[in-house]
Structure 1
Amino acid sequence: MQNKGFLRVREIAAMILLLVGVKLSDSTPALLTQKAQNGFWLIPVISFICIFPSFLLMLYLLKKYKDKNLVHLLEAILGKGAGKAVSFIIFLFAFLSMTLDSRNYIEQIKLLYFPESPTNIIFLIFMVVVFLGAKKGFEVIGYSSWIGLPLIKASAFTIIFLVLGDLVLQRIFPIFGSGLPIILKEGVVKASMFAELFYILIAYLATRETAKFNKGSIIAALIAFFEILIFYFIYITVFDYNSVAKIAFPFHDITQFISFGEFFTNIETLFMVFWLFAAFLKFIIFLYITTWIFGVIFEIKDFEPLLLPFGFLVGTIGLLPFNSVINELHFRETLLTIMSPFFIVLPVLLWVIALLKGGLRKK
């Protein structure tokens, strides 16, 4: 059940908000705190400033080269061979990101809710649900994202409202943490924390009018950025940076502060339901668009049968790191560092090549 081109602005925006915005609930804050200390909450600002213009440039190029998605745009500008090679690199980045991120979420589920359950069983169940969701098709995924988004966001901002009394603003000082040069450097090398913005461009033709895709993606990118910034600010003002660096999953620890009185206990379980729902939707979208990129590269029109083997590979490779520390502080940090200059520079190179070839004169 592949896309027929009926998605609207709200559905594109909802999928991007889930792909990017859910990052506020994973272990990225613990990763950023390792070097930036209590200034880690400023890193997304630098990262977004670095990568958002490149994303806008990609949207501009897609607008100029009409009726093309991400892969076809690269082929049109770079030539078929070089375009497919660069597209395959993007596919590898997307696949590895999905694999490492999924292990991150599995570790959260296991450590916080099912500590006695084997990791491989949890991973298997998780990926089965993701596969079953992805096989419904892109239109259903988009509609489901839009339907589920209000509940997910309402639960997240309920958390903010309920922990406002626990904020200690003095914890943001010194504002630049371990130093402004480190904040700037980490902001640049971690810019790919917003790389999902580029992966979703494979669905550029998923709306009746590409202007709707542009509008939805830009609005969603800005909202997701501010959501991440707000939650990172909450983390540093509720916990000190040493705690953020050690607890790994600050979103779930925040829920421990929430109380509705002595009668309502274990209220964090309620928020777990919405968090799991958001996690499933995120990886359903991620699995579908990653497989879609692969299908377009190799000109496989009916690529949806590949969802099952790709889901199996994600689960198999995701189990390879011995523990979450190796996954997060070594593999994931290395991948982010490699991807950041790629996604910052690639659109600029494409624009220069298109300009020299005269492609930008097209209406």
Structure 2
Amino acid sequence: MQSHGFLRTKEIASIVLIFVAIKFADSTPTLLSQKAQNGFWIIPAISFIVIFPSFLVMLYLLKKYEDKHVVQLCEAITGKWLGKLIGLVFFLFAFSSMVFDARNYIEQVKMLYFPESPTDYIFFIFIIVAFFGAKRGIEVIGYTSRIALPVIKFSALLVILLIWEEVVTERVFPFFGSSLSIIATEGVKKASIFAELFFVLIAYKATKETKMFRRGAIIASIIALAEILLFYFIYITVFDYNSIEKIAFPFHDIIQRIEFGEFFTNIETIFMVFWLFAAYLKFIYFLYFTAWFFGAVFNIDNFEPLLLPFAFLVILIGLLPFNSAQTQLVYHEQLYTLMSPFFIILPFLLWVVAWRKGDLRP
């Protein structure tokens, strides 16, 4: 079935892979390790197993209802007003995730690289750059992602190769950390660490053919999971048992251990450039998809003028004087816990309603 977009499988796969897999380089490992300790690296696998069937059901429904993105799908199945209410929840979750993640990334940039710079200046520059990227439109975003993906992933592979000699596999024990039950519980409660898979569904009609979207999203999500698990395994085998839950930004601690001899110093700055590039792309996606959700809910076809107001809202809310540790370890965790049942259950409820209406029957 033909769509109205311009993207192909490679562009969608690049967007999903960067959008999801970058969680190996933020403070998500610290959040997951608070209860699971050194068994935290298994949590993403459990979360993926729990939430991926829901994602596949949503893709199945989108295929059946054809020329619709996720908000239009909800309206077609549940009716206009209930569908818009569900779309509004999508928007609120996407916007809240963007705010929390933005604050988290700004804290990383400030603490690790620009400690003397004011937080509001860094925040402003970061989000405005993301705004100018989002303003270029989905076609340019997809093309840029496809061009940037090999460079970003090569830098990640280089980190793995250079740090591998410090891996001590015995540190993976006790294998289940604090306990298997805690890991299983946290895996279900934190299933929404893959919520970006559902946010991307707003761009379902952005591909030349919708099967390109499905193929790219499924392949990229599996690769993203493998990448996250690999990096989390490296964190747990490089850092000792007692330090893993106390390290705020494990990716940056890892790259600071990399050495090229006495001649090359501050080598982590090189990797910081690629990490920052991926971070910019992530917030370009967040900003564009959030505005798109808002436009879909309120019937605003030309939603791109909303990008600037949303950019400033992210800055204003993100600069609220919350303690950064409390923001990430308390509020962000609560958001994950709130989003998880929504994304796990909603697709199956939509499927049941669509089936009872007879829309899925031959």
TM over 0.5: yes
Residues 4, 205 of structure 2: 8 Å contact kept: no
Which residue matches 2:48?
48
Residues 38, 236 of structure 2: 8 Å contact kept: yes
Name segments (4+ residues, structure 1) moved above 2 Å.
none
Which residue matches 1:359?
359
* Count of matched residue pairs: 360
1:323 Cα deviation from its structure 2 partner: 2.4
Q: Provide TM-score, normalisation by structure 1.
A: 0.98
What SS does the aligned partner of 1:177 have? coil
Please show how residues 41-80 of structure 1 align to structure 2 within 5 Å.
41-80=41-80
* Distance in structure 2 (CA, Å) of the matches to 1:191 and 1:93: 14
Which residue matches 1:282?
282
* Distance in structure 2 (CA, Å) of the matches to 1:282 and 1:321: 24
* Distance in structure 2 (CA, Å) of the matches to 1:154 and 1:316: 35
* Distance in structure 1 (CA, Å) of the matches to 2:319 and 2:40: 28
What SS does the aligned partner of 1:360 have? coil
Deviations 1:91-110 (A, max 9, x none): 10000000000100000000
Which residue matches 1:301?
301
Which residue matches 2:194?
194
Residues 190, 337 of structure 2: 8 Å contact kept: yes
Residues 4, 208 of structure 2: 8 Å contact kept: no
1:4 Cα deviation from its structure 2 partner: 5.3
Can you give the 5+ residue segments of structure 2 that lack an aligned partner in the other structure?
Answer: none
Residues 46, 188 of structure 1: 8 Å contact kept: yes
Deviations 1:271-310 (A, max 9, x none): 0100010000110011001100110110001110000000
1:244 Cα deviation from its structure 2 partner: 2.2
| Code of the aligned partner of 1:294 | F
* Distance in structure 1 (CA, Å) of the matches to 2:319 and 2:359: 45
* Distance in structure 2 (CA, Å) of the matches to 1:326 and 1:315: 18
What SS does the aligned partner of 1:359 have? coil
Please show how residues 1-363 of structure 1 align to structure 2 within 5 Å.
5-361=5-361
* Distance in structure 2 (CA, Å) of the matches to 1:114 and 1:4: 43
Residues 33, 241 of structure 1: 8 Å contact kept: no
Q: Provide TM-score, normalisation by structure 2.
A: 0.98
Residues 188, 340 of structure 2: 8 Å contact kept: yes
| Code of the aligned partner of 1:59 | L
Q: Give the percent of matched residue pairs that are identical in Structure 1 and Structure 2.
A: 66
* Distance in structure 1 (CA, Å) of the matches to 2:351 and 2:261: 58
1:321 Cα deviation from its structure 2 partner: 4.5
Deviations 1:301-360 (A, max 9, x none): 111000000010011111125222011111100000000011000001011111111111
1:245 Cα deviation from its structure 2 partner: 1.4
| Code of the aligned partner of 1:166 | E
More displaced, 238-247 or 97-106? 238-247
What SS does the aligned partner of 1:142 have? helix
1:173 Cα deviation from its structure 2 partner: 0.5
Can you give the 5+ residue segments of structure 1 that lack an aligned partner in the other structure?
Answer: none
* Distance in structure 2 (CA, Å) of the matches to 1:63 and 1:101: 31
